[in-house]
Structure formats: structure tokens, C-alpha cells
Amino acid sequence: MASSKIPSSKKNAFATILEIAEEKHAIDLANPMSNLTCPDKLIDLVSKNMRLGNNDYSPAEGVESLRKEIINLFNQQNNTSFQAETDITITAGPAQAMTTSISTFVKEGDEVIIFEPVQESYTPFIELNGGRPIFVNLKMPDFRIDWEEVKKLVTSKTRMIIINNPQNPIGRIFSDTDIDQLKRMTNGTKLVILSNEVFDNIVFDEQKFRSLASVPELASKSLIVSSFGHVFNITGWGIGYIIGPEKLMSEFRKIQQFQGFSVNTPAQFALAEFLGEGQDFKAICESYHKKRDLLVSLLKESNFEILPTHSTYYQMLDYSKISDENDLDFAVRLVRDYGVATVPFSAFQHEKTKNQLIRVCFAKPDALLIEAGNKLKSVPVREG
């Protein structure tokens, strides 16, 4: 039997929880997907484009009409001037955009700086391409970035910095200070910045989100990954996009033509038409804001400490007043004893920590949030 190319890869805490949740028929606040419906008009447009015969392979860079609609919207939102012909590629979801970017720019011996907590898919692709992940843990209690620490980790081998802004699972948004520090640190370097910005349209509490593309000094070296999956509840469609300067995008497309090749053609045409009609992103954001506030109001009388979240559709909960169990054991007990599935914080870290945190997803119908909130509210402080 051939040896594994990623021997460190194994079933993670997230998979363990979902397995038990299915067995126990638990309320699923763990799965990072919305239980909400996508707009009827969008479904109708997909059907329309299937009937029109838009069912063949799409161009490797994506359907032209969709690229134009996204670029126009992106340029309006960020005061940029990217071109649909050269600066954007449609991908099979944001994860594929991220991993293809890593494959494009990371070579044997390169180092890649990653801020934790982070999605688990990045590290294996860095290693598969011969690179070495360099982890930076955000500082508790407010998940602050220690930029002095980051600067010390940048070496002649550093090829890429991976950013998640707004950050899953903690809902943290890069501040002006963070952006300024990143700008200073990368000035004059050949580093590539890969920025996952999929929650850019879901921002709460009058916080201001700034894409790295809106900062000229960073735009020239950044690839921006995003998607409409979260705002239109179509994460399962497998459509994302990546935007960046032509010098980076041309290299990305060399790999995309083999690794991604063609993305869901009728859905691309449908999404282009849907965006062309104009969409109220502010109203969509407000709907998620209300769901977050509903869950928080239910848990205010619980034994959980509610950590601030200013973006995403996830909420972090601190259970340290309830139990001294590690996060996986606690999450397993919540599923088995209370019928609510959550994600232990360790699923987003490469090493075990003592953080007693769990993540819940509030992109759910209100009735389900109320039922889950009442169950979590009943979790007592564990004696002994």
C-alpha cells in the first residue's frame, strides 16, 4: 500500500460531532450551512437557463456575463477598477479558489503564514505542494493579532500570507490598524496575500469591513476570494470567485484550467441575471443580524459566556463556567445529553489548546434557533 501524501490528516472533531448528531437526531448548529431557502427567482432562473440549453462546459475563467456583474459590483463596493476580462475567475466554490491559489504559488520549501483559528483545508494543500504552514494564534480574549510576532515569522522563505477577513469562526473584522500593519509588513516584498472574504456582505453592529483590494498597496499583491453562497443560501451550488491583478490572475488561471476547468454553467448564467436585477445586500445582512440577536437573547440567561461576533453567521460560546472538560468532550456531551450539535474550537486549530469554546451556526429558521437556545439555556454548571 502506498504511503499517504498527508499522513497527519485524520478524522477531525467536526466529523465526529456530525456523526453523533445524525445518530441522535440532534438539532444541528454545527454544520456550516444555512437551513434557509434561496430566492425563488434564482431557482426559476436556473431552470430557465437549463431549458435555454446553457448546459455545456463553461469557459475555464467563467461565464463572461457573471464575471462582468461581479466585477461591476465589486468595483462599486470597494472603489476599485478591476477588469472582467483579466482580473476575475469563477471557481467551484471559495474552497477551490483558496486551494488552487495555494497550488499556484506555493512551491517546495516555501513558508505560508496562517492565522488561527482557521479552516482545516488550507494546511493539507500547503503540505501537498511542499510548503510549510507557519501558524499564528490570535490573542485572547479578543482574538487580537500580535503583529510584532508576525513580523518575526516572515523570512526569506515566506511566500504567502493567508487572511480570513471577516474571520470564521470568530466573526472578527480586520481593523484599520491591522490593515496598516499588513501594508507595512509586506511593503517591498514579493509576498502573495490570499484573502478569504466570503462574509464581506454580512457585517453587524455598524462595523466597517474593508477589502484588502480597496488598499492600493495591498491590492497589487492580493487575491480576494468570495462567494454569494452565504447571502443567497446557495453554498451547495459550488460557485465562488477570485479577484486579483492580472499578473497574479494569469498564473492562477494556468492551474484553474486543469484543476477546476468548468463550473456549474446554468447556475452561472442564472446568478449573472439575478445580480443584474440588483439585490438588497443590506436587507440580507439585517436578517442575519436579527438571527444573531435572537440567539444571543435566548442565551443571556444561560451559563455560557457569549463572545462578541461582528460578522459571519457563527457565534462563539465560552463554557468555562459550566465545565472544565476539553472542547471535544463537552461538545460530544451536548449532543448526547441535550440534543444540540456544536463545533469544538479545536477543529480550527492545528494543536490542542485549553480554550473552552464552541461554535454555533445561527443561519437557521427562528423556530429551530429558539428550540436550540432553550436546550442550551438548560445546561447547568457541572459539579465536581
The residue type found at 370 is: I
Please, what CATH class does the domain formed by 13-31+281-377 belong to? alpha beta
The residue type found at 17 is: I
pLDDT tens column, 131-177: 999 999 999 888 999 999 999 999 999 999 999 999 999 999 999 99
d(CA 367, CA 35): 12
Using only C-alpha atoms, the chain has a radius of gyration, in whole angstroms, of 21
Mutual angle of helices 64-78 and 265-276, in 10-degree steps: 40
d(CA 99, CA 120): 11
Q: Which of 277, 276, 280, 308 is nearest to 292 (CA)?
A: 308
pLDDT tens column, 267-320: 999 999 999 999 999 999 999 999 999 999 999 999 999 999 999 999 999 999
Domain 54-276: CATH architecture, name and number where available: 3-Layer(aba) Sandwich (3.40)
Residue with cell 451547495: 236
pLDDT at 2: 56
Contact 129, 107 (CB under 8 A): yes
Mean pLDDT (whole number) for 4-27: 78
d(CA 122, CA 65): 30
Query: Which grid cell sits at 169?
Result: 469562526
Contact 343, 64 (CB under 8 A): no
**Domain spans of the chain, in order of start:** 13-31+281-377, 54-276
d(CA 304, CA 332): 16
Confidence of residue 21 (pLDDT cuts 50, 70, 90): confident
d(CA 221, CA 353): 33
**CB atoms near residue 326 (< 10 Å):** 18
d(CA 292, CA 361): 9
pLDDT tens column, 188-245: 999 999 999 999 999 999 999 999 999 999 999 999 999 999 999 999 999 999 999 9
d(CA 41, CA 45): 6
Distances (CA, A) of 215 to 8, 38, 81, 179: 37, 33, 12, 8
d(CA 276, CA 272): 6
- Predicted TM-score (pTM) above 0.85: yes
Distances (CA, A) of 278 to 31, 169, 271: 30, 29, 11
Which SS3 state, helix, strand or coil, does residue 338 take? helix
Whether omega for the bond prior to residue 365 falls within 30 degrees of 0, making it cis, is: no
Three-state SS for 80-118 is: CCCCCCCCEEEECCHHHHHHHHHHHHCCCCCEEEEEECC
pLDDT at 119: 79
Mean pLDDT (whole number) for 342-367: 91
Mutual angle of helices 94-105 and 246-259, in 10-degree steps: 110
Query: Which grid cell sits at 266?
Result: 446554468
Query: Which grid cell sits at 106?
Result: 506555493
Give backbone dihedrals phi and psi of 241, rounded to 5 degrees, phi first: -155, 160
Please compute, for residue 116, the number of CA atoms within 13 A of its CA located in the half-sphere on the CB side. 19
